[in-house]
Amino acid sequence: MTDARMAIAADDPDAPRPSENKSSSAPEALAWESRSRRAVTIYVPLACFVFILLFPFYWMSVTAFKPNAELYDYKTYNPFWIGSPTLDHIYLLLFKTDYPRWLWTTMIVAFCSTILSLVASTLAAYAIQRLRFKGSQYVGLAIYLAYLVPPSILFIPLATMVFQLGLFDSPLALILTYPTFLIPFCTWLLIGYFKSIPYELEECALIDGATRVQILWRITLPLAVPGLISAGIFSFTLSWNEFIYALAFIQSTEKKTVPVAILTELVTGDVYQWGALMAGSLLGSIPVALFYSFFVDYYVSSLTGAVKE
């Protein structure tokens, strides 16, 4: 670069001008940018992004608490604000539908499949990363590839399997099938986490006469708690979000999970109860959002850590 510029300077009589330009722009780039410029290039676009990303949630909440009169009348009421907040929609949802049961089923399914896949993937990740048996790399790669198999191509054969096993219309079908996408992800995440725990600690324990099981239980697992927590959060949110299996395997109203139930039970006939729909969506989002907000630091760091791995 510099050679080329010097060559130009030597040849070209206009050379001083570009170098002047450079000297006037370089300090600006090197030093702090002016405040207004920074505002236009960073804060305004950022504010737009935040506004667009959050607006559907705002709209969902506003709709959930609006009385029907305001909901369908933008002329007399300002649509962006609630004139007289009401809990009617939430009351309807909680006491006139099976919503609490749906919530409970979703919670149980998410919890059980999370525990199941955490146990399975912790053991698998430990074996792959620490026991280092022959071919462990390939097993790791196979598990990673398993994550790339989407539920959309598995739900039809799984439906026939679930039917043959007699699990159709039972939450157990969901608890057993959710690990198909949870285990690959958790294992992948935990392999990365175990990698960050110094191997020397385990060697010390081995020299002190600890068994492999003791090492896993007393040394590796306590150190891996942050990794386990983030894997748990991922699993919980993923199972809470799952839709296609729950739609295909569950038929009776009272056993549905929240996402499926809202779409299939609350949307009936031609008149949509928008207030109740939005209230249902809001209530269904809150548990995940709360769960996530408690552990957001783990979440973001492990997400970025997992990607960095």
Partner 1 sequence: MPQTQASPLTWTRRSKQQNWLVRLLDWKPLLVVACMLPAVGLLMVFLTYPLGLGIWLAFTDTQIGRRGVWVGLENFEWLFEDPIFWNAVFYSVFYTGVATIGKFGLGLWLALLLNNHLPFKSILRAIILLPWIVPTVLTAIAFWWIFNPQFSIISYVLIEMGLRDTNVDFINTPWSARWSLIAANIWRGIPFVAISLLAGLQTISPSLYEAAMLDGSTPWQRFRYITFPMLLPILAIVMTFSIIFTFTDFQLVYAITRGGPVNSTHLLATLAFQRGIPAGQLGEGAAIAVSMIPFLVFATLFSYFALARRKWQQGEGDD
Q: Residue 189: is it exposed, middle or buried by C-beta count within 10 angstroms (0-12/13-18/19+)? A: buried
Q: How far is the CB of 45 from partner 1 (least distance, A)?
A: 6
Do residues 235 and 49 lie in contact, with contact meaning Cβ atoms separated by under 8 Å? no
Residues 6+ apart with CB under 8 A from 298: 226, 229, 230, 233
**CB of 109 closer than 8 Å to CB of 174:** yes
Which residue, 10 or 153, is less far from partner 1 as judged by CB? 153
Minimum distance from residue 231 beta carbon to partner 1 (Å): 13
Q: How far is the CB of 144 from partner 1 (least distance, A)?
A: 9
Rounded CA-CA distance 122/139 in Å is 14
**Residue whose CB is less far from partner 1, 82 or 143:** 143
Cα 205 from Cα 201, distance rounded (Å): 6
Q: How far is the CB of 95 from partner 1 (least distance, A)?
A: 21
Q: Identify which of residues 86 and 182 has a Cβ nearer to partner 1 in the complex.
A: 182
Q: Which is nearer to partner 1, 29 or 207 (CB)?
A: 29
Nearer of residues 86 and 283 to partner 1, judged by Cβ: 283
Please state the closest distance from residue 260 (CB atom) to partner 1, in A. Answer: 8
Q: How far is the CB of 87 from partner 1 (least distance, A)?
A: 19
Cβ atoms of 211 and 105 within 8 Å: the answer is no
SS (H, E, C) 168-236: CCCHHHHHHHCHHHHHHHHHHHHHHHHHCCCHHHHHHHHHCCCCHHHHHHHHHHHHCHHHHHHHHHHHH
The distance in angstroms from the start CA to the end CA of the chain is: 35
CB of 121 to partner 1, least distance (A): 6
CB-nearer residue toward partner 1: 88 or 287: 287
Alpha helices in 127-170 (DSSP H): 136-147, 151-164
Nearer to partner 1 by Cβ, of 26 and 204: the residue is 26
